[in-house]
Amino acid sequence: MLFDSHTHTEFSADSEMKAEEALARAEQLGIGLVFTEHLDADYVSKDGKAFTFDPQAYWQAYGRLRGDRLHLGVEIGMRECTRSFSEEFASQVDFDMIICSQHLVDDIDIYYPDYYTGKGKQEAYQRYFVQMAMNLKTHSFADVLGHIDYICRYAPYENSHISYREFADEIDEVLKNAITTDTVLELNTRRLGDKEAVAYLKPIYQRYQELGGRFVTLGSDAHDAAAVGAYLSLACDFAEALKLQPVTFVQKKMVKMQK
């Protein structure tokens, strides 16, 4: 069975999706889910949302739902100044899977225009990848590196796609550190409906495979039920073409998946 290994319910500050809604949609699609609620420690968004949650309350609410079709995880925003807190947070309950992602660069949320003000694409993207590579070394408790192309969603440039050739050195450092630390690369499905995005992503994942990467998780990053499982079949085809094995995690142990 395939798993959508990156979803957010109402335990995440930016999601109102009910667990039951997500599970109902997953059942319709014949897939499993991993809930991966947000922790960006010591961060409050411009609209006053704190990106954290109580892991004990999370376990109390969803522990009864956990089983063969639902695993419970967390998505942690990587910052060196919060690494120790994040590692301790991740140890409070038995998370099945820990995603670590780069949401802030130089302590600025790249969701907002502020990060890009006064920066060309080269500088903005280089800083993103440099900090991602550095943080991978210190966030050794991660199972998965989330959405390497996250910055493409919000960057204001005419062409926001990541050109591997343009950032080859920086991307290689990220990929090498992921492999060295046994951190699986996520294939985030959100942008796979865009053929141009797929064309830009292919060289990145091809390079991952060339450097020794063998596994990917598949995740929609769904914040509402309609997005659960989005483009999962396309993601499988993408991975298969590059000889990458889709996996998920159960009790921090990798499990291979088949389409």
pLDDT in tens, 45-79: 999 999 999 999 999 999 999 999 999 999 999 99
Q: Residues 18, 65: contact at Cβ < 8 Å?
A: no
pLDDT tens-place string over residues 30-45: 999 999 999 999 999 9
In angstroms, the CA 78 to CA 45 distance is: 16
Residue 100: predicted pLDDT? 98
Q: Percentage of residues in the chain with pLDDT exceeding 90?
A: 99
Helices of type H across 139-192: 168-180
pLDDT tens-place string over residues 129-171: 999 999 999 999 999 999 999 999 999 999 999 999 999 999 9
- 258 pLDDT band, cuts 50/70/90, is confident
Identity (one letter) of the amino acid at 187?
L
- Cβ neighbour number for residue 172 with a 10 Å cutoff: 18
Residue 108: predicted pLDDT? 98
- Grouping H, G, I as helix, E, B as strand and the rest as coil, residue 175 is helix
Q: What do you get for the CA distance between the two ends of the chain, in Å?
A: 7
Residues composing the chain: 259
Each domain of the chain, given as residue ranges in start order, spans: 3-256
| Residue matched to tokens 């053929």 | 195
In angstroms, the CA 184 to CA 48 distance is: 32
Q: Is the pLDDT of residue 185 over 90?
A: yes
Pull the structure tokens for residue 161: 């796609």
- Grouping H, G, I as helix, E, B as strand and the rest as coil, residue 209 is helix
Provide the pairing of β-strand 245-250 with 215-219: parallel
Pull the structure tokens for residue 150: 């996250």
Residue 60: predicted pLDDT? 98
Report which of 73, 83, 86, 168 is spatially closest to residue 129, judged by C-alpha positions: 168
Q: Residues 238, 192: contact at Cβ < 8 Å?
A: yes
192 burial via Cβ count (<10 Å: 0-12, 13-18, 19+): buried
- Grouping H, G, I as helix, E, B as strand and the rest as coil, residue 216 is strand
Domain 3-256: which CATH number of 3.60.70.12, 3.40.50.10490, 3.40.50.2000, 3.20.20.140? 3.20.20.140
Q: Is the pLDDT of residue 29 over 80?
A: yes
Q: Is the pLDDT of residue 87 over 80?
A: yes
Average pLDDT, the chain: 98
Q: Residues 46, 36: contact at Cβ < 8 Å?
A: no
Q: Is the pLDDT of residue 259 over 80?
A: no
Q: Is the pLDDT of residue 103 over 80?
A: yes
Q: Is the pLDDT of residue 125 over 90?
A: yes
- 186 pLDDT band, cuts 50/70/90, is very high
What is the average pLDDT across 232-243? 97
